[in-house]
Amino acid sequence: MKANPILLQKKYSRVIECFAKRQGISLDAALDFFYNSEVYPLIRDGVSDMHCMSDAYLTEELEQEYAAKR
């Protein structure tokens, strides 16, 4: 299932902002990590309805990936 692109952009911005705050990194660093993450294409493509998950859940997924890559 595909989500409305405008709604996805808003979701991305909320997740990126939350991720940056929780990791104590700049918005630019968070943005770069998000768009190069494994989570981003899952949300974008609607895999397993990831675009329907809460912002907190998606932020946690990003944090797990971030910790694994550090």
**Domain residue spans of the chain:** 5-69
State residue 19's pLDDT score. 98
Residue 51: enclosing H or E segment and its boundaries? Answer: none
pLDDT digits (tens, 9 = 90+) for 41-63: 999 988 888 889 999 999 999 99
Closest among 35, 42, 33, 36 to 63, alpha carbons compared: 33
Proportion of the chain above pLDDT 90, given as a percent: 77
pTM: 0.92
State residue 23's pLDDT score. 97
Per-residue CA distances from 26 to 1, 3, 16, 51, 54 (Å): 32, 28, 10, 24, 22
Considering only the C-alpha atoms of the chain, give the largest distance between any 2 of them, rounded to a whole number of Å. Answer: 33
Using the predicted structure, report yes or no on whether residue 1 has a pLDDT greater than 60. Answer: no
N-to-C CA span, the chain: 32
